Each structure stands twice: as C-alpha cells, then as structure tokens.
Structure 1
Amino acid sequence: MNVASGTFGTWHETATNIHLALMAGALDGLGYGRSLGRYIAEDGANVPGAEALAQSIAAEPGHPLTAARADLLQALREGRVSSGRVAIEHRWKQASILASAWKHGVPMTVHPGIGYDIISNHPIFSGSVIGRAGELDFKLFGGSVEGLDGGVVLSVGSAIMGPQVFEKSLSCVNNMRLQSGRQIVQGHHIYVVDLQDGGGWDWTKGEPPKTNAAYYLRFCKSFSRMGAPMHYLQSDNAAFVHHLAHALQNA
C-alpha cells in the first residue's frame, strides 16, 4: 500500500500543476478557483524569471504581492518549477467547470484544507501558496454573499465545507453591513441536496431539539440558522445536477 511505502500524498503531476497555477495566479491577485480556471483555459502559465522576481522584492518589499513573489522565487530556486512559458495541454477543457467559470467571468471559488489532499506530502507543497489562494477565494465568495439579497443558495453534496464557509461568510457580510448602518442579508432562500434522509425532520419548521438525532446533521442545521427558509431534498447528487441542468436548458 502507498501508506506503508511512505508514498501516499505525493502525486507529482497534480501537486506541481496546482501549485504552478496558484503561484502564477497569485502574481495577478487571483485566488484558487480563478488561478486553476485560467491555467486550464489557457493551457499553462507564464512564469517570470528568478532575477526579475528578486528585483521586484528588493525594490518593493512592502508590496502586497511580495509574499507571493517570494513563494514563486523559492520554488524556482529549488528547481520545483521552471521560468518562461509552461505549456500544459488540457484537451478536455470544454468539460471543465473551472475553465468555463474563468471564460465567462463567473466567480468560482475553492476552499482548501491543509493536510488532507493527495498533494500534501509532495516536496512542492506550500501552506502559504494554498492558504493565500484560499484566503482570496473566501473574500471572493463573500463578495457574492454581499449580493445575495432576494437570491438563492443551492448546496449540493457538501456536508461540512459548504455550510461552514457560507456560515462564516454570511456572518462577516452581516457584520460589515451593520457597522455601516445597513440591514443584514435578507429575502434569500436556501436549498440543500444530499444523499442522507435529513434525519426525518421537517427543516422548514426550524431546527430540531438536541434530543433528536437530526440536530447533529451539520449540513442541515447550519443552513437552517442562516436567516432564510431552508428546504432539504434527499437525492443522488449527480442525478440532481443532471435533472437541474436539463430543466434549465428547457425552461
């Protein structure tokens, strides 16, 4: 097994290309989702040379991009990536959600964790690169939540990350609105889809008591607290997405 041989979590192609995309994207202020989307859509990235990066860092040490430049400079000096045009053909980019989002200007975000992906043990792995990209995407996600009034939240198949990211983002947006004398986000509706049965609870009535097992379903409980009607549908996630796409195409 890969764990017994000490090689699990060291996927080279995946780790190298994700980090290259994120490091190149960070130089343009892009987060995780948009960096990967551009990398796929444009079949690679342009990487500046080590000398140019070092000069930029020395000339503007307080620049907002200095840390991102330093991460890329270190990767270049360690031989993890190469400067110049790095071409990676993506033959099926038309099927990529990330590439399509980049192409159409849709704010696609990715919310990473540190240590649980198949790239975490690879020598190129950088918590600062991953963390920076995730921070930018959390802010980008918050920008969408800022415009949520009267809108719809659709969560499909995310038991933990989806509700938790939305919860923190909505709280942040509401906090900033209240500080500026504005009303909190309102008038939105939340729809949650997952394989589980929702605990047999009618979530349109609010959350169940702690004595009910359904209370501990995070993907339902968190969303039910987000200041809007929450509707739950038990469904195969892939089947739901296919039916939704079909319905939208024929609407």
Structure 2
Amino acid sequence: MQYHGKFPIFDPNQIKTYPVADRINKVQLEDLADPERTLATAIPLAPEQEDVLDQLAKHIVLAVRAGRPVIWFTGAHLIKNGLGPILIDLIRRGAVSLLGTNGAGTIHDFELALIGQTSEYVPNALPQGQFGMAREFGYINAALLEGQHRLIGFGQALGQLICDSDFRRAVEKRLNLDHPIVFKHPEVSLIAACHQHNIPLTVHVGIGTDVIDQHPNFDGSAKGGCSGRDFLIYTQHVTNLDKGGVVLNIGSAVTGPEVLLKAVSMAGNINRPPCRIVTADFDLKPYHLNAMNDESNCCYYFRHHKSVATRIPAAFQGQGLYIQGDQRRT
C-alpha cells in the first residue's frame, strides 16, 4: 500500500513467511463432520433445546417451500469445529439463500480446501513471530487484488480462486509464481460449495483483524472494497425478507449481529423492512431477556442476544429464538 502521511509506518516487506506445509495444525480432514453419519446419530439434548430446534427447523422448511430467504451468518468456529460439511449439505438441499461470515471463517475454509488442515497452534507460533505467517495466505490477498480490479466481492473472488482456473492463473501472475496453485480438497470447502451452487458468500471484515493483513502483499483498499461490495449483496438479500424468512446467526458475537442491524435499517429506509421474520442465535452464553434494556447489566452488551434474538424480530413483528449450547451438538 502507498502511504504519504506524516507518521512512520511498519514496512511489511520485512515480514518473513514460511510454507504452510511446515505448520502443525489442530484440525484435520478426519475431524470434519459427516452429514449422513450425523443424521443417523442420536445427539442427546435438553428438552428446551429440542423444542427450539424443532421450531427453527419447521420455520426453515416453510421458508424454503415458500421461496423466502434463509440467511445464515457464521463465525470462524463453525469451520474449526468441523461443521462445514453439514452446511455444504444444507446448501445442496436448498436451505441456504446466502451465507455470511467474517475473514477468519474464509481463511480456515481456504486452508481446508488447500491442504486439508487448519487451525495452527497459536501459543507455539506467537513467541517466534510466526503466527499467521504461512506464505500461502498471500494467495488470498492476491485474489482480493484481482477481485478489486474486476470490481467483484470478497466471497466471489475466493470462490473463483478455488473453482475458476482462469481467475486462478490471474492470481498466480500477480504472485509471480513458478508453479500452479493447487487446492487438494475443494470438496470440503464452503467457499467452493457456494460458488458452485450460485449462493452468495458475503465476507464482512475489518482491517488488521485477519492474518492475511500481516503479509507484504496486503492491500487494505482491495480487502475493504471487495468486502464492501459483499455488504451490499447481503443488504439486498435482507430486503427480500419483506415477505418473511429466516435469519440464523451461528457463533458470531459482534460482526454478524452488527451487519444484520445495519442491513435491516437500510432495508427499512427504502420501505422494504423485514416482515414477521424468524431469527435464531446460536451461542454458548446464557440468554437473559430481562437484561436487554438494562445498561447496568453486562448481558445488555452482548450484541447477538440484544440484536438478533431480541430487538430485530421484535421491531418487525417476528420471533426471536436463542439456542444455547455447543455448536457440535445443536
């Protein structure tokens, strides 16, 4: 990135990277969930969990049958917890209209597609200055530069990186690689599944929040530009909730709720607010409805509780559901 300001800045060209193949990872292909095995397995749940999940499943089925949106937003832990194949199966079944995530979600998915592993040991890498320094993360930055050049979104750029050989060659050219980029396991990639099924994957990022930002070829205007287009794609889909639909927030404490809140306000501003939507928030923390209007209570500041499970559905004559528990069980 160019800089002409008055303060000194860090020179990212000093950064030393290493091959991702040299890294020890916590998540392997065998750790990923198998949809058929999951369907055949009885997972013990508390009665209240079973009840709310049954309600949610019925709402999703009704929305799909009526042609109404089913919008999903997930944090990165869904990928790290090995649940990507479950969501891929739901994409194939037509139960996903749009998938939103953060930068880390796409990075874990990218690693699984590339090498079939993800989730490095941060405590080991951090003291050595190697956390997030795998060389292949530069592929994502180059894809975003190409995406910015083509004026497309973050999710589409990564989808084409994995699935489109012409786009991939353009990225290789930007990187001056003397070898092709090979994704060994695209079948486990949510990015690839969305691209192949023409489902928008929208990626909502900050600057300095992801390991790709540490690399010499990072460009904030490319990252922000591609993600900004994704926000408008997401918001356009939110306007389609004006006749109802379902929004699920899975393990995103801040980004998912805040993106939804802004998109809902924009939809209302053009007279296309959500109507009687069902929202579902999945998280580990207990939910306290009586704290949602009490600024002296720490629970008031849990954005996913306040926005996704409470304020947004209440504002539009909808229903908010909260599912507390480990994602791998709920």
TM-score by length of 2: 0.55
1:183-239 Cα deviation digits (max 9, x unpaired): 5222211110101112xx247xx9342344422222111222212322111021233
1:192 is aligned to 2:281? yes
Please list, as runs of the form range in 1=range in 2, the aligned pairs for 1:77-116 lying within 5 A after superposition.
Answer: 81-82=175-176, 87-116=180-209
1:225 is aligned to 2:311? yes
Deviation at 1:140, TM superposition (A): 0.9
Please list, as runs of the form range in 1=range in 2, the aligned pairs for 1:1-251 lying within 5 A after superposition.
Answer: 3-14=126-137, 16-42=138-164, 45-47=168-170, 81-82=175-176, 87-149=180-242, 150-175=244-269, 177=270, 182-198=271-287, 201-202=288-289, 207-223=292-308, 224-226=310-312, 227=315, 228-240=318-330
- 2:76 corresponds in structure 1 to none
Unaligned ranges ≥5, structure 1? 50-75, 241-251
State the secondary structure of the residue aligned to 1:148: helix
Task: Give the structure, 1 or 2, with the largest relative contact order (CA under 8 Å, sep 6 or more).
Answer: 2
Change (3 A) 1:26 1:188: same
Q: What is the distance in 2 between the residues matched to 1:145 and 1:161?
A: 16
Change (3 A) 1:9 1:90: closer
Q: What is the distance in 2 between the residues matched to 1:151 and 1:81?
A: 42
Q: What is the distance in 2 between the residues matched to 1:167 and 1:33?
A: 21
Does the aligned pair in 2 maintain the 1:193–1:237 contact within 8 Å?
yes
State the secondary structure of the residue aligned to 1:123: coil
State the secondary structure of the residue aligned to 1:27: helix
Number of aligned residue pairs: give it.
Answer: 200
Q: What is the distance in 2 between the residues matched to 1:183 and 1:112?
A: 26
Q: Which amino acid aligns with 2:304?
A: F
Does the aligned pair in 2 maintain the 1:31–1:135 contact within 8 Å?
yes
Does the aligned pair in 1 maintain the 2:142–2:217 contact within 8 Å?
no
Deviation at 1:171, TM superposition (A): 1.2
1:5-31 Cα deviation digits (max 9, x unpaired): 5554433211x1101222223333321
Unaligned ranges ≥5, structure 2? 1-123
Q: What is the distance in 1 between the residues matched to 2:146 and 2:230?
A: 15
TM-score by length of 1: 0.71
- 1:57 corresponds in structure 2 to none
Q: Which has the larger radius of gyration?
A: 1
Does the aligned pair in 1 maintain the 2:145–2:222 contact within 8 Å?
yes
Deviation at 1:119, TM superposition (A): 2.0
Change (3 A) 1:5 1:90: closer
State the secondary structure of the residue aligned to 2:139: helix
Structure 1 vs Structure 2 CA RMSD: 2.6
Does the aligned pair in 1 maintain the 2:159–2:194 contact within 8 Å?
yes
